[in-house]
Amino acid sequence: MTTRLVVIGNGMVGHKLLEELAALGTPGLEITVLCEESRPAYDRVHLSEYFSGRSADELSLVTPGFFDQPGLHLRLATRAARIDRAFKRVTTADGEVIPYDKLVFATGSSPFVPPIPGNDRPGCLTYRTLDDLAALAGWGAQSKRGVVVGGGLLGLECAKAVRDMGLETHVVEFAPRLMAVQVDDGGGRILHRTIEELGLVVHTGKNTQAIVDGSGIDGANARHAMKFADGSTLETDLIVFSAGIRPRDELARQCDLGVGQRGGIMVDNFCRTRDRDVYAIGECAQWGGKVFGLVAPGYDMARVVAKHLHALLTREEARDLPEFAGADMSTKLKLMGVDVASLGDAHGATPGSRSYQFSDERRQVYKRLVVSEDGKRLLGGVLVGDATEYGTLLQMMLNGMDLPEAPESLILPASDGKSRPGLAVDALPAAAQVCSCNNVSKGQLCVAVAEGATSIGALKKATRAGTTCGGCVPLVTQIMKAEMARQGLAVNNHLCEHFAHSRQELYHLVRVERIRRFEDLLARHGQGLGCDICKPVAASILASCWNEFVLQQEHASLQDSNDYFLANIQKDGTYSVVPRMPGGEVTPDGLIAVGRIAKSYGLYTKLTGGQRVDLFGARLEQLPLIWEELIAAGFESGHAYGKSVRTVKSCVGSTWCRYGVQDSVGTAIDLENRYKGLRSPHKLKFAVSGCARECAEAQSKDVGVIATEQGWNLYVCGNGGMKPRHAELLAGDLDTATLIRYIDRFLMFYIRTADRLQRTSVWRDGLEGGMDYLRDVIVHDKLGLADELEAEMALVVDTYECEWKRAVTDPKVRARFRHFVNSEAGDDQVAFVPERGQIRPASAQEKRAFRGIPVVVETE
């Protein structure tokens, strides 16, 4: 018998319900999903990353083929307009009637727009969906100044997006402090000051009375003027409302389902409404008088409903079904690079509670603990500027663990060489929830370790812990190692079965013993023949130390596939060609040469976020021919294939820009030419901005340089990608010579000490003492390594040669670039189709259509 389930909404929580139902495999379930938007579920938590270069596809939460499952039907751009509970049917906006047996509301929330006269003027926007972001990008391109109305969590995320567009950014908040719900007055002051030092202007305690035409006011030429109750005005070209959310409960009101006084569809512990065939989950639901605005409680609701439906439809015993029992609203986030965390009773509202506070206005750090009257239990806390203790404090609070005799020691800086009291993972109960996103307990982690999951990768696969936001990974790692030790298992950092050493140890062995061949390293310190883990690691270490050509006979077999062919292999078996364009600068003749070569070989061309041109679709045998022509035109390898320095992005700087205070282009070119080809544990990206407006996005890079009136500020350990991380200030107002010395030291210290495939941001998190320790090593030469590190970098710089120039002039290396060992023929499985005046790889279906028919590549 088929059961018809209709799910209204395909946001993060609605999609989690579908994933949980798919995992349970409930038989006979026919699911129709109504999604108002034109694209399926995507990650709203990281929405602001859209402006840092993360695409809509990269934000998607839908695994390939998910909606191809039988019995699962997704209707995009389809709005539910009416519910008829008597006849159990949903009518869509275009008049289609969809019957149901069970119905789930996952309609989420909508942004609250204050009822201010003029709030609907052109250029007054909201910040909630990808379509909103596309509109924001369009208006941002026509604007110089932007205002975000709302200084809460969402408002500050939105402000980051506005700032990332290069606009002068203002935040207007009605409350007397930022993030009034999460932080107290002390934390609010530090946060206010820190946000303003990042280049934003904050206006708190502002009551907006009206929004009017701003042109001509006080000589301004702005699109809008915001009039405040205190008589002041603020001119702006763009206004974004991000002042909170309201549950999307209008359909429930229409069909009399029962809605709370302040909104939200009222549900019981199984997330059922007053109609037992209708459920509500996520931000549209109200449980216990509360609406939960975080994703983790919504995921809990989705799990509860999935198991409840499964039990009902399979007639399984329902006695032990999980129930939704509310959620802890503690949260930790990074706003524009600033750590902010709030736990439990952050404001000390519990009768009899007392608090401990620590404030460091120089470092802009504020911490507060709220404890029980007897000082034995942690009730809540606030952390601003440094939230490293969040995981420890959260577990202490959630599990009612005893506090140390002096609770303040948990937040005071360590002194006299003594470390702060931390969390003893053995004291955590088995039921302690470690991963709130995926509801994974310490007990489940320990069971998985006992069953053989003795690496973080294996533990993630077995339990899903740490696979959503990743915030619990440090604690997951602690629990894994503690459980391995308890079971008598060896806890080691061995690179692989062939080397009982870490990458850092191998680096020192190679450097100290001056080992130049993998065979020698293996003979002295390893066993066996090596593998696809240790060979590329050894290749990278040898290149970092001695900078020999990676395709020399003794090194070539160690390289992974991209390094072996000095190109990134693409999904269709072709390769990309990426010539270096230092700092993004290229002459007209250079552009003409690249265009001519791309046209000659029928390549797809694309400008990248790293300010250079990528050429796609090159066949293996074409690579030396293409590179010969590029080298003749004055280009070098861009090292896009290597774990090495990739690009140094730059703005136009003081040469052209009226805001620029230093020559960012010249500095970027000098840095890229200095460090080109440097091999490292992971890829490295740089950027240089000519002023604090930060158009080159230097604070999202491994090495970021920002101009000041006095010189350069050096930021390190940032990255984009799946888990973006803002870089942190290492040193300020540096002259150019000092800047280069510090970068030399930083890079070589990272190469010496990082683990395999470890980004600088992750490496920095593992340094005991964090950025303060790194600053001591790099700036103050605490370890006495400065001269040594600089000398090691000088060797790399002095021995640089273009790898592709060497490859095309060496007959033995050049002979490697053939698809078949015994034939000059190319790969006949490669096929392209024309699109937008260029080529793209043919799909599997298109390739089948091409069989037996010559493929014509069309170019314009």
Length of the chain: 860
In DSSP terms, 838 is beta-bridged to 835
Nearest to 269 by CA among 317, 296, 315, 308: 308
645 CB-side CA count, 13 A: 32
The SS3 of residue 833 is strand
Residue found under tokens 């702005």: 222
The answer to whether 124 is annotated as binding is no
Query: Cα(608)–Cα(226) distance, rounded to whole angstroms?
Result: 38
Token couple for 639: 């090292």
Helix (H) / strand (E) containing 792: helix 786-798
Q: Are 262 and 276 in contact (CB under 8 A)?
A: no
The count of other CB atoms within 10 Å of the CB of residue 62 is 17
Helix (H) / strand (E) containing 103: strand 102-105
The count of other CB atoms within 10 Å of the CB of residue 24 is 17
The answer to whether 657 is annotated as binding is yes
The answer to whether 531 is annotated as binding is no
In DSSP terms, 89 is beta-bridged to 84, 99
The count of other CB atoms within 10 Å of the CB of residue 572 is 17
Helix (H) / strand (E) containing 481: helix 473-486
What totals of helices (H) and strands (E) does the chain contain, helices first?
27, 37
Cα angle for residues 300, 301, 303 (degrees, 5° grid): 65
Token couple for 649: 């992005």
Nearest to 111 by CA among 74, 157, 142, 80: 157
Q: To the nearest 10°, report the CA torsion of 225, 226, 227, 230.
A: -130
The answer to whether 695 is annotated as binding is yes
* Distance, first Cα to last Cα, the chain: 57
Q: What share of the chain is helix, strand, coil (3-state, %, to 5)?
A: 35, 25, 45
Query: Cα(808)–Cα(806) distance, rounded to whole angstroms?
Result: 6
Annotated binding site for siroheme: 695
Annotated binding site: 651, 657, 691, 695
Annotated binding site for [4Fe-4S] cluster: 651, 657, 691, 695
